[in-house]
Amino acid sequence: MDTNPTVVQAKRVKLDEIQCSDRLSNLPDAVLLCILALLPTRDAVATSILSKKWKHLWAFVPYLRLDEFEFHERSEFMDFLERALALRSVSSLKGLTLSCKVLDDASRINSLITRAISCNLQELSLSLFDTAQPYELPASVFRCQTLVEIQLKMSCTLKFPCSICLSSLTILSLESVTFMDDKSTSDLFSCPSLKELLIKKCYWKNLNLVSISAPKLKKLIILDGPARGRAVSNVCRVQIKGVNLKLFVYTGRLLNEYSFFGSSTKNARFYFHHIDDAGLDLVVKHEYNLLNGLSNVHRLAFSDGFLKDLACKGELLDRLPTFPNVTRLSVRRVISLNCRVLQMIFEKSPHLDRISFKRFIGETSSTTPKWSPKEICAAVALICAIRAVNISVCTSLSRRSKKTPSTSSVKGGIKQKDFQEEKPREDSLQELQVLEGYS
């Protein structure tokens, strides 16, 4: 009998591992599938060598997550992708997340996507790189009756089929896509069950008139890419028809024209990039039209880029719409509290009862001066002296900081008193993180 302490210890460790493995194997299949679902697909497949019970268990995991960059060779990835889909249980696949280069394998990749769609897929997330121009996904993607969520990240001109029928689609996210034509783009943006639409860094240059008319749409978020160098003549008219939004968010430079027809929104946030060049006149016109379309909002948030743009066109100030329903106003990165545009918006918001100023500590004092409570109250006093207004100043830390921002509040409009620490709303912090990461 071997009494070597090292050997004995090794045997004990091995025995513990076997017993642990046995205990894990004795768990119900439903629990094991939940565990496997947390693993990358490649690691989940590797468990098939553990025992007979594990051999085919991974094939019932409801989600496939495959990333080419986790493989040493492209050929290894493509072969693995084909095997993973070929061995799937047809009824078990709910979601496919695929990130890879396309190169010369467009037909092969499209065939695999089609196979996944045939499994009654509910969620599809594609990040495809190095694609042909234009690129055409399988028509089955846009005619699938079971798809609930689609996320497409593709730096290419994407050709949609002539007929789009996505009756169950509720969430659509598009990133870096160049749209090809008006009709198919409008059809995609008007799916009957669509509730959330995110358009991030996409290109509208091929479009003239697009309609967004999804009757159940609640969130519309448009994050436009850099506008420098873009021809002012490439303007797309985006008509938002018959929707009742809970949230509308826009960031970028408003070179496209957005109009609301028979639509409303409760919460509007726009963060414009101010660039003083030949396109400024057009941008200001679009901003003014957008404000008119959003005049019935309940909450309004904007940045200093909007204030700078309108300040360049003083003749429009007297024509600003009235905001009869606005009760909360949030202003981000304000340079001057004496800004005439800001004062006009105060005047035209008769039911305003809360004003929030947000800035980042760590930026230069020339762009974001540090105001004292007394200065803030004095600046707002002329506008808000006849009504009580709750003013808060969010002293959010620099973009790279992980610390929690703090908020101070001033009660009573022009009175400097009752300052207290107040935790910012979680959704506001998440939005700031998203938009700061984007910019």
What confidence score (pLDDT) does residue 414 get? 38
Which of 35-44, 137-146, 342-351 is predicted most confidently? 137-146
Which has the minimum average pLDDT: 224-228, 305-309, 426-430?
426-430
| Residue with more model confidence, 207 or 53 | 207
Amino acid at 276: D
8 A C-beta contact, residue 211 and residue 186 = yes
Percent of the chain scoring above 70 in pLDDT: 70
| Residue with more model confidence, 30 or 337 | 30
Average pLDDT, integer, range 17-34: 67
For residue 189, count other CB atoms closer than 10 A to its CB. Answer: 23
Percent of the chain scoring above 90 in pLDDT: 38
What confidence score (pLDDT) does residue 74 get? 92
Q: State how far the alpha carbon of 240 is from the alpha carbons of 62, 118, 215, 270, in Å.
A: 36, 33, 10, 16
CA distance linking residue 63 with residue 244, whole number of Å: 33
CA distance linking residue 378 with residue 336, whole number of Å: 12
- What is the pLDDT confidence band of residue 417, given thresholds at 50, 70 and 90? very low
Quick one: tokens of 282?
């057009």
What confidence score (pLDDT) does residue 365 get? 45
Which of 18-32, 79-93, 179-193, 425-439 is predicted most confidently? 179-193
| Residue with more model confidence, 20 or 256 | 256
pLDDT at 337 over 60: yes
pLDDT at 336 over 90: no
Average pLDDT, integer, range 234-260: 91
- What is the pLDDT confidence band of residue 397, given thresholds at 50, 70 and 90? very low
Average pLDDT, integer, range 421-433: 43
pTM of the model: 0.80
395: number of CA atoms within 13 Å, CB side? 14
Provide the b/e sequence for 420-435 (b: ≥16 CB within 10 Å). eeeebeeebeebbeeb
Express each pLDDT in 270-294 by its tens digit: 988 877 666 788 888 899 899 999 9
- What is the pLDDT confidence band of residue 426, given thresholds at 50, 70 and 90? very low
CA distance linking residue 77 with residue 51, whole number of Å: 25
Average pLDDT, integer, range 345-356: 86
Please name the residues in contact with 41: beta carbons below 8 A apart, sequence gap of 6 or more. 58, 61, 64, 65, 66, 84
Domain segments of the chain as ranges: 1-59, 62-217
CA distance linking residue 161 with residue 142, whole number of Å: 7
| Residue with more model confidence, 188 or 361 | 188
My answer on whether omega of the bond before 134 falls inside 30° of 0, hence cis, is yes
